[in-house]
Amino acid sequence: AQKVTQAQTEISVVEKEDVTLDCVYETRDTTYYLFWYKQPPSGELVFLIRRNSFDEQNEISGRYSWNFQKSTSSFNFTITASQVVDSAVYFCALSGFQGAQKLVFGQGTRLTINP
């Protein structure tokens, strides 16, 4: 069975601080995909990144960066110089390669950036 754990339920930081959201996953698949989605207060789910299990290169996109470590089954997300607009619930998700392409989501981390 697949499982995603986001141990941090809520994080609150002051604007301009760096913050890291943790994600740990479990799967028996050798090929799988990992995702991060953002859910702002308006409620929609916004796709941020997809990473496949063969690509362990870290990725940076502006103030966002992702650290994928297969050895520890982790896919952590860091926001550098956080801004109030980053306040949202962030979800990590996992999908297998074979069969259903359903996403298995973690419970989410509510991030609040205070001015």
Partner 1 sequence: DSGVTQTPKHLITATGQRVTLRCSPRSGDLSVYWYQQSLDQGLQFLIQYYNGEERAKGNILERFSAQQFPDLHSELNLSSLELGDSALYFCASSVIGELAPQYFGPGTRLTVL
Q: Is 73 exposed, middle or buried (0-12, 13-18, 19+ CB in 10 A)?
A: middle
Nearest approach, Cβ of residue 115 and partner 1 (Å): 27
The contact mask relative to partner 1 for 12-41 (x = CB under 8 A, - = no) is ---------------------x-x-x----
Distance CA 69, CA 8 (A): 18
Nearest approach, Cβ of residue 16 and partner 1 (Å): 29
Do 35 and 100 meet the contact criterion of CB atoms below 8 Å apart?
A: no
Q: Say whether 50 sits in a helix, a strand or coil.
A: strand
Nearest approach, Cβ of residue 59 and partner 1 (Å): 14
Residues making contact with partner 1 (CB under 8 A): 33, 35, 37, 43-47, 50, 52, 91, 95, 97, 99-108
